[in-house]
Chains A and B, each alone.
Chain A
Amino acid sequence: MEYFIQLFLGGLTRGSIYALIALGYTMVYGIIELINFAHGEIYTIGAFTALITASVLTLYGFNEISILILASLVAVIYSSAYGFTIEKIAYKPLRHAPRLSPLISAIGMSVFLQNYVLLAQTSDFLPFPGLVPEFQFMKKYEHIFSSTELMIFLTTSVVMIILTLVIKFTKIGKAMRATAQDRKMAMLVGVDVNRIVSITFIIGSALAAIGGVLIASHIGQINFYIGFIAGIKAFTAAVLGGIGSIPGAVLGGFILGWTESFATGYVSSDYEDVFAFALLVLILIFRPAGILGKSKAQKV
Chain B
Amino acid sequence: MKSTVIRLFLSLAVILSIIIAISCTKLQSRSIRVGVAGAHSGDLASYGLPTLKAAELVVKDINAKGGILGRKVELLVEDDVCKPEVATNIASKLLSNEVHVVLGHICSGATKAALGIYKESKIITMSPSATNPQLTQSGNYPNFFRTIASDDAQAKLEVDFALDILKLKKIAVLHDKGDYGKGLAEFAKEFLDKSGRAEVVLYEGITPGAVDYSAVIQKIKNSEAEAVIYGGYHPEASKLVMLMRKKKMDTVFISDDGVKDMTFIKVAGEYAEGVYATGPKDVSKNPLAIAAADAHKKAYGSDPGAFFLNAYAATQALLNAIEKAGSTDYKAVTNALRTEYVDTPLGKIRFDERGDAIGVGFSMYQVKNGEYAEVK
User: A1-23: which have CB < 8 Å to B?
Assistant: 3, 6-7, 10-11, 13-14, 17-18
Measured in the bound complex, the distance between the Cα atoms of B213 and A11 in whole Å is 10
Q: Is B295 located at the chain interface by the 8 A CB criterion?
A: no
Q: How far is the CB of A254 from chain B (nearest CB, A)?
A: 14
Pair count A-B, CB < 8 A? 98
When A143-B247, A269-B204, A270-B205 are in contact, do A215 and B215 touch as well, CB less than 8 Å? no
Which of B74-82, B265-273, B302-310, B339-347 is found at the contact surface with chain A?
Answer: B265-273
- Is A219 touching B215 in the complex (CB atoms < 8 A)? no
Which of A123-131, A178-186, A201-209 is found at the contact surface with chain B?
Answer: A123-131
Q: Enumerate chain A residues within 8 angstroms of B204, measured Cβ to Cβ.
A: 268-270
Which of B7-15, B52-60, B130-138, B234-242 is found at the contact surface with chain A?
Answer: B234-242
Q: Which of B214, B216, B235 has the most CB of A within 10 A?
A: B214
Q: Is A277 located at the chain interface by the 8 A CB criterion?
A: no
Chain A residues bordering chain B, tally (CB within 8 A): 39
Supply 27 A–B pairs (Cβ within 8 Å), ascending by A. Answer: A3-B218, A3-B222, A6-B218, A10-B212, A13-B214, A14-B211, A14-B214, A125-B263, A127-B269, A130-B246, A146-B246, A146-B247, A215-B212, A219-B212, A219-B243, A220-B246, A221-B267, A225-B209, A229-B210, A229-B211, A264-B215, A269-B206, A269-B219, A270-B177, A270-B204, A272-B210, A272-B215
Measured in the bound complex, the distance between the Cα atoms of B243 and A14 in whole Å is 14
Q: Is A273 located at the chain interface by the 8 A CB criterion?
A: yes
When A264-B216, A270-B204 are in contact, do A223 and B247 touch as well, CB less than 8 Å? no
Q: Is B195 located at the chain interface by the 8 A CB criterion?
A: no
When A10-B218, A127-B266, A260-B215 are in contact, do A219 and B209 touch as well, CB less than 8 Å? no
Q: What residue of chain B has the Cβ atom nearest to residue A134's Cβ?
A: B246
Q: Which residues of B come within 8 Å of A, CB atoms? A: 177, 204-207, 209-212, 214-216, 218-219, 221-222, 234-235, 238-239, 242-243, 246-249, 263, 266-269, 271
- Is A7 touching B212 in the complex (CB atoms < 8 A)? no
Q: Is A39 located at the chain interface by the 8 A CB criterion?
A: no
Q: What residue of chain B has the Cβ atom nearest to residue A233's Cβ?
A: B211
Q: What residue of chain B has the Cβ atom nearest to residue A18's Cβ?
A: B211
- Is B212 touching A14 in the complex (CB atoms < 8 A)? yes
Measured in the bound complex, the distance between the Cα atoms of B207 and A273 in whole Å is 8
9 tightest A-B CB contacts, nearest first:
A10-B214, A264-B215, A261-B215, A270-B205, A220-B242, A6-B218, A14-B212, A127-B267, A143-B248
Query: In the complex, given contacts A10-B215, A219-B243, what are 15 additional A-B residue pairs having Cβ atoms less than 8 angstroms apart?
Result: A3-B218, A6-B222, A10-B214, A13-B214, A143-B249, A218-B212, A219-B211, A221-B238, A265-B218, A269-B206, A269-B216, A269-B219, A270-B177, A272-B210, A272-B215
Measured in the bound complex, the distance between the Cα atoms of B219 and A262 in whole Å is 10
Measured in the bound complex, the distance between the Cα atoms of B248 and A90 in whole Å is 46
Q: Which of A125, A126, A143, A269 interacts with B207 by CB under 8 Å?
A: A269
Q: Enumerate chain B residues within 8 angstroms of A75, measured Cβ to Cβ.
A: none
Q: Which residues of A come within 8 Å of B, CB atoms? A: 3, 6-7, 10-11, 13-14, 17-18, 124-127, 130, 142-143, 146, 149, 215, 218-221, 223, 225-226, 229-230, 233, 260-262, 264-265, 268-270, 272-273
Q: Enumerate chain A residues within 8 angstroms of B218, measured Cβ to Cβ.
A: 3, 6-7, 10, 265
- Is B235 touching A221 in the complex (CB atoms < 8 A)? yes
Measured in the bound complex, the distance between the Cα atoms of B269 and A17 in whole Å is 25
- Is B219 touching A219 in the complex (CB atoms < 8 A)? no
Measured in the bound complex, the distance between the Cα atoms of B271 and A107 in whole Å is 37
Secondary structure of the A side of the interface?
A: helix
Measured in the bound complex, the distance between the Cα atoms of B240 and A19 in whole Å is 23
Q: How far is the CB of A218 from chain B (nearest CB, A)?
A: 7
Q: Enumerate chain A residues within 8 angstroms of B239, measured Cβ to Cβ.
A: 219-221
Q: What residue of chain A has the Cβ atom nearest to residue B212's Cβ?
A: A14
Measured in the bound complex, the distance between the Cα atoms of B211 and A273 in whole Å is 12
Measured in the bound complex, the distance between the Cα atoms of B215 and A273 in whole Å is 13
Q: How far is the CB of A119 from chain B (nearest CB, A)?
A: 19
- Is B235 touching A13 in the complex (CB atoms < 8 A)? no
Q: Which of B206, B209, B243, B268 interacts with A229 by CB under 8 Å?
A: B209
Q: How far is the CB of B248 from chain A (nearest CB, A)?
A: 5
Measured in the bound complex, the distance between the Cα atoms of B236 and A219 in whole Å is 10
- Is A265 touching B219 in the complex (CB atoms < 8 A)? yes
Measured in the bound complex, the distance between the Cα atoms of B189 and A123 in whole Å is 33
Q: Enumerate chain B residues within 8 angstroms of A142, measured Cβ to Cβ.
A: 247-248
Measured in the bound complex, the distance between the Cα atoms of B233 and A220 in whole Å is 16
Q: Enumerate chain B residues within 8 angstroms of A221, measured Cβ to Cβ.
A: 235, 238-239, 242, 267
Q: What residue of chain B has the Cβ atom nearest to residue A2's Cβ?
A: B222
Measured in the bound complex, the distance between the Cα atoms of B216 and A272 in whole Å is 10
Q: Enumerate chain B residues within 8 angstroms of A219, measured Cβ to Cβ.
A: 211-212, 239, 242-243
Q: How far is the CB of B132 from chain A (nearest CB, A)?
A: 27
- Is A126 touching B247 in the complex (CB atoms < 8 A)? no
Measured in the bound complex, the distance between the Cα atoms of B243 and A212 in whole Å is 17
- Is B219 touching A264 in the complex (CB atoms < 8 A)? yes
When A219-B242, A270-B177, A270-B205 are in contact, do A124 and B212 touch as well, CB less than 8 Å? no
